[in-house]
Amino acid sequence: MTPGAVGPEADIRPAGPAAGPVPPETLAALARTRPLPAVTAALRAALHARRMLLLKSLLVRFDRVRGTLPAAVRRRFEDDWALLERAERSDAAAVRAVLDYPTTGAWLATALAAPDGPAFAEGLAGLGAVAVAAALRAGCRFTTTRVLPAGALPLPGAGLLRCARGRARLSGRSGTLRVTDGAGQTLLLPGPAPAGPGTRWTADGALAWSALHTLPGGTAVLDDVDPHRVPPGGIGPAALPAAERPYSDPAAWAARWRDAHALLAATHPARAAETLALVRAVVPLAPSAGGGPPLSATVRTAPGAVLAQLPADRRELAELLVHETHHTKLAVLDELVPLWRPGGSLHRVGWRRDPRPVPGVLQGAYAHLALLDLWGRARTGPAWVWRRRADERFEACREQVAEALSVLADSDELTPCGREFVRHMGSHHARLAGSAHAPG
């Protein structure tokens, strides 16, 4: 298909099951924070369906304004779309991995929010990075010349190409990428995806490839190069930016990640498996000026990415990963079935100094309910180094979640589905509160 032929015949399209209503048993399992493989699969399918919907929305908008776009912008978008389709026909799973990567969602949200004109045309250029990354993963053969006004081309989930001369010819074959700039300098990056963590340069330094580091024991990467990994305004009240390479400390993150997952697997294997399945990227944040506990966040448009400062030890990272995984789960669920209506009420919660709106209360209560479950297991589990800390955290968190659930139960801002979700959360909290170790 061509970008102008928008319709049901499109080669790239959402898969069906995730787009429908959430079955009651799935909603109940999610509300109880249960790490079930079937629920994880449903969430991943829902995330993919959402990405396909956003991609189709971009295509529809392109078709609507194509007459106002410069001819070069139109041709580039059409060529990028054709390459993405060709990659999808070659290896659909490889393309899905790129489309579902967190920063792809952040790019799509930015492009769709841009006003018509130069800003939207600039947003459309991001499709080229996605198409090239997908074609590389799929092992497609292609050649394309890229003008890089910012001197960089991010390949989602793989790394970042920098070109000081602003123009490069990219040739892909069987997953190997050859990059040549205008002066004839060449970088050859072996496949199946451009590999070898760290940065490689040409002799004159005008071309550089910074590959992402894969974290131990899974497929998650430490993303310290993608320009879409942190929102422009930064994270938290201090507007923390991303930590830039070489200050992101990949070796420390890899060691902490390995130890945290070993601890999590010893305490609750299903929870460890869920985290590995749903966390696609860890984005290091710059240190805070005044110190304090590590800050972490999940961006709604990029679920599956954990934005965080490096925790002090494996216990902190294990807890942080469970906490942010549940923000990802709730973000994906709310795209399927809205859990709240717009409202203006603010409420105090035990884990924040500032009053929170109802969506913030629900997000926090849900993440802390998962931690309550985790700490209930840790305080009687095999990892003795975690028991005392878990016992203290369990007791404090139990009261905080109870108060938040009371706020939510009295709120008129929840949808019927939201009220049912909170009811199941309350049932699980009651079981945890009455037992040091709740099954399942």
Spell out the SS3 assignment of 53-66. HHHHHHHHHHHHHH
Answer yes or no: is 355 within a domain: yes
Distance CA 136, CA 194 (A): 8
The residue with greater pLDDT, 55 or 12, is 55
Residue 437 binned pLDDT confidence (cut-offs 50, 70, 90) = very low
Cβ atoms < 10 Å from Cβ of 209: 25
For the stretch 273-311, pLDDT in tens is 999 999 999 999 999 887 777 899 999 999 999 999 999
Answer yes or no: is 245 within a domain: yes
Distances (CA, A) of 339 to 22, 360, 405, 410: 12, 12, 14, 14
For the stretch 349-404, pLDDT in tens is 988 888 999 999 999 999 999 999 999 999 988 877 788 889 999 999 999 999 99
For the stretch 134-158, pLDDT in tens is 999 999 999 999 998 889 999 999 9
Cβ atoms < 10 Å from Cβ of 392: 12
Question: Distance of alpha carbon 177 from its chain centroid, rounded?
Answer: 25
Answer yes or no: is 406 within a domain: yes
Average pLDDT, the chain: 90
Asked if 201 contacts 213 with a C-beta cutoff of 8 angstroms, the reply is no
Average pLDDT of the segment spanning 261-282: 96
Q: Please tell me whether residues 365 and 294 are part of one structural domain.
A: no
Q: Please tell me whether residues 130 and 150 are part of one structural domain.
A: no
Report whether pLDDT(199) > 80.
no
- Among the three residues 332, 352, 377, which one is the final residue of a domain in this structure? 332
Answer yes or no: is 15 within a domain: no
Q: Please tell me whether residues 148 and 123 are part of one structural domain.
A: no
CA angle 236, 239, 243 (to 5 degrees): 100
Residue 10 binned pLDDT confidence (cut-offs 50, 70, 90) = very low
Q: Please tell me whether residues 391 and 427 are part of one structural domain.
A: yes
Q: Please tell me whether residues 124 and 162 are part of one structural domain.
A: no
Q: Please tell me whether residues 343 and 436 are part of one structural domain.
A: yes
Per-residue pLDDT at 191: 61
Report whether pLDDT(184) > 60.
yes
Say how many domains are in the chain: 4
Distance CA 155, CA 386 (A): 39
Cβ-based burial of 423 (10 A; exposed 0-12, middle 13-18, buried ≥19): middle
Residue (of 113, 139, 138) closest to 126 by Cα position:
113
Answer yes or no: is 11 within a domain: no
Q: Please tell me whether residues 383 and 436 are part of one structural domain.
A: yes
Answer yes or no: is 92 within a domain: yes
Distance CA 274, CA 36 (A): 8
Per-residue pLDDT at 366: 98
Q: Please tell me whether residues 342 and 435 are part of one structural domain.
A: yes
Q: Please tell me whether residues 379 and 282 are part of one structural domain.
A: no
Q: Please tell me whether residues 121 and 232 are part of one structural domain.
A: no
Question: Distance of alpha carbon 326 from its chain centroid, rounded?
Answer: 12
Tokens of 326: 């549940």
- Among the three residues 309, 332, 355, which one is the final residue of a domain in this structure? 332
Residue 175 binned pLDDT confidence (cut-offs 50, 70, 90) = confident
Q: Please tell me whether residues 166 and 206 are part of one structural domain.
A: yes
Q: What stretch of H or E contains 97? A: helix 92-99
Domain extent, residue 404, equals: 337-440
Tokens of 181: 């700039």
Rounded to two decimals, the pTM is 0.91
Asked if 94 contacts 140 with a C-beta cutoff of 8 angstroms, the reply is no
Q: Please tell me whether residues 225 and 206 are part of one structural domain.
A: no
- Among the three residues 332, 365, 397, which one is the final residue of a domain in this structure? 332
Answer yes or no: is 378 within a domain: yes
Answer yes or no: is 9 within a domain: no
Per-residue pLDDT at 381: 82
Report whether pLDDT(347) > 70.
yes
Average pLDDT of the segment spanning 120-144: 95
